[in-house]
Structure 1
C-alpha cells in the first residue's frame, strides 16, 4: 500500500483562459510545463548510480534510493501531442491522441518493433499530466459568469474528454486497433440510448468543457499514483463542480494499475443538437520510475 500524499496543489485546474483564433493570453501553468526540466532515462540512471555507489561511506541501500527518487519525482517521461485541431460534432466520439506504450520506445521507421526501456517494478507509472485547450459552441456571455448568481461553469455541459487505458498497446494486434481508432475519418455519429454509459459525462470523465463558453480554456489535469480522494467525498464533489474533472479520477487507481505496455487514449465527445467540442490542443506526459 502506498502512503497517502497530502492534497496540496495536486489539481492545478485554474490557468488563465484563452480566446480561440486570438493570440494566447498569459497561461502560467502551461508555460511552467514547457519550461520545466524533464529528466531523460540517462539522467535518472546517473543519479541512481551516484546515490548507490558514490555516497560515503558505502553508498545508500537501493530501497532508500527508490524513496529519494520518488520523493523528488525524478522520473523518466514521454510526451504525446495532438498535431492539429479538431471539431467534434454532436453524437460523435473521436480518439484524438494515444500515448506511447508504457516503458517502450515509440514505433519509428528505424525501430518498427518497440523496445523495452529501463523501469522499476511491474507497475512503474507514477504520474500522468494532461493538458487540454478547448471550448464548446458558446452561447453565454462573459458577463453572465461574472455575477454573483452565475451558474456553475461546468454545470449542464455536453462536450467533454475521457481517458481510456489500452492494455498491451505494444503488441502488433493492438497497434492496428489503435491506428484504426485514431483515424480522423471515423466521424460517423451513432445513436446513444438513455442508459448508454457514454451518453453523458460521468464521474470517470477526464475533463468537461465549461458550458456554453466560446472562449477556450486550458485545463491541466494531474493524475498521481499517491492520489487518494474518495469519489463519494465532499472534496471530490467540490473538485468536480469547480474544475470539471470527474470525481472518480481522484483516487490514483488508474495510475497505480498501469502495466508495462499500456497506453492512454484520449477521447473527445459531444452530444445533442447544437453542441460542438472545439479541440485546439491536447498533450499527455507519462512518468515512470526507474
Structure 2
C-alpha cells in the first residue's frame, strides 16, 4: 500500500502551514525589543493565523429511520502528517494509507501544539437532503419538525504513543464505526460522550430541510469563543437554521485534545424518514 498524497482544494484565501506560522513568530523576535511569547501568541490568534486540516469525503450514504450511520471520521487532529487538505471518494477507495506520527524533519517545519486548549475553529460542510416528502404540511420547506439530521462526536485514542513513531493509518479507519468487530488490531478508539438520541438534541449539528428532494449545502462554523445560552436570540437563530443551540456553547471545541478524531453521524427517525448525504467536509483549525 502507498501513502496517500493530499489533494489541495483552491480556497481563494491563504491558509498558513505550521512552517509559515513558526516563521512569522520568529520575525517578532527580530525587533530591537523582542515581543514576549504570550503577546506573539495573542497577535497570531487575533489574526486567525492558524494551522489546519481538512478532509472532504464524496459518496452517497443513506441512513434510514432507526439505523444511524457514521458518514466519516477525521484523521487524528494536529498530529504530524495530518496537516493540509485531503479528498477521498468513499465509494472508490484504492487502499490509501496515511503515514502519520514520528519526528518531523525539523522543528522549523512542524511543531505540535503546546497549549492546553489549542483548537480554535471547526467548519462543517454538508451536502444532503431528506426523503423529499412527508412531515407536517406547515413544516415543509423549513427545519421545523425535521427528523433527519447530523450529529458530531469525538473519539479519543486510548494512547498517544501511537504517534511516537511513524505509523500507517488506513483510509478504512475513516469510514468504520468504532464498535465494528474488525476495525483494526492496532488502534483503539474511546468513544467520548457517544449518545444515540431518539429526537434531534440541543447539540444537533444540522437538520435537513423537511420534504426537500434537492441536495442542500449547509455550512456550520463553531469556534472556541462560542458561548450561546439557551433561549437567547443566538440560540433562536441557530434553531431557525436547523442547528441545536448547545452546539454553539463552545464546549465541543474547547474540550478537543491533540490526536482526537471527529466523527460525523447521520440519523433519521419515524417510518419513511431518511438522511441522504452526498458529500461532507470537516476543517479544523488550531493554534501553533
* TM tier, smaller: 0.7 to 0.9
Equivalent residue runs for 1:84-163 within 5 Å: 84-106=59-81, 109=97, 111=99, 117-139=111-133, 153-163=142-152
Tell me if structure 2 keeps the 8 A contact 1:94–1:267.
yes
Deviation at 1:136, TM superposition (A): 0.6
> Between Structure 1 and Structure 2, how many residues are aligned?
239
Counterparts of 2:114 and 2:21, CA distance in 1: 12
The alignment partner of 1:155 has SS state of: coil
Runs of 4+ in 1 over 4 A off after TM superposition: 106-110, 112-117, 149-152, 169-172, 175-179
List aligned pairs for 1:18-97, cutoff 5 A. Answer: 34-51=11-28, 53-54=29-30, 56-97=31-72
Partner of 1:265: 263
Q: How far, CA to CA, are the matches of 2:22 and 2:41 in structure 1? A: 12
Q: 1:115 to 1:97 in 2, by over 3 A?
A: farther
Task: Give the Cα–Cα distance (whole angstroms) in 2 for the partners of residues 113 and 57 of structure 1.
Answer: 37
The answer (yes or no) to whether the contact 2:140–2:209 under 8 Å persists in 1 is no
Q: Is 1:229 the counterpart of 2:228 in the alignment?
A: yes
- Unpaired stretches in structure 1, ≥5 consecutive residues: 1-31, 187-195
Specify the SS of the correspondent of 1:264.
strand
Specify the alignment match of 1:255 in structure 2: 253
8 Å CA contact 2:71–2:175 kept in 1: the answer is no
Matches within 5 A, 1:161-240: 161-168=150-157, 180-181=176-177, 198-240=197-239
**Deviation for aligned residue 1:177:** 8.1
Equivalent residue number for residue 12 of structure 1: none
Residues 96, 267 of structure 1: 8 Å contact kept: yes
- With the length of structure 2 as denominator, give the TM-score of the two structures: 0.73
Relative to its length, the structure with more strand (as a share) is 2
Distance 2:12 2:47 in 1: 18
- Cα distance in 1 between the residues matched to 2:177 and 2:130: 23
Q: Can you list the C-alpha shifts for 1:123-158, whole angstroms capped at 9, x where unaligned? A: 211111100111111127xxxx9xxx8767101111
Q: Distance in 2 between matches of 1:212 and 1:110?
A: 39
CA distance, structure 1, for counterparts of residue 178 and residue 69 of structure 2? 7
Q: 1:268 to 1:215 in 2, by over 3 A?
A: same
Confirm or deny: 8 A CA contact 2:65 2:270 kept in the other structure: yes
Question: Are 2:80 and 2:100, in contact at CA under 8 Å, matched by a contact in 1?
Answer: no
Cα offset, 1:281, TM superposition: 1.2
Give the deviation of 1:83 after TM superposition.
Answer: 2.9
CA contact (8 A) 2:122 2:222 kept: yes
Q: Matches of 2:158 and 2:268 in 1, distance apart?
A: 26
Query: Over aligned residue pairs, what C-alpha RMSD do you find?
Result: 3.2
Change (3 A) 1:90 1:40: same
**Distance verdict in 2 for CA 1:167–1:121, change over 3 Å:** same
1:280 maps to what in 2?
Answer: 278
Structure 1 position 225, deviation (Å) = 0.5
| Residues in 2 aligned to 1:94 and 1:256: alpha-carbon distance in whole angstroms | 26
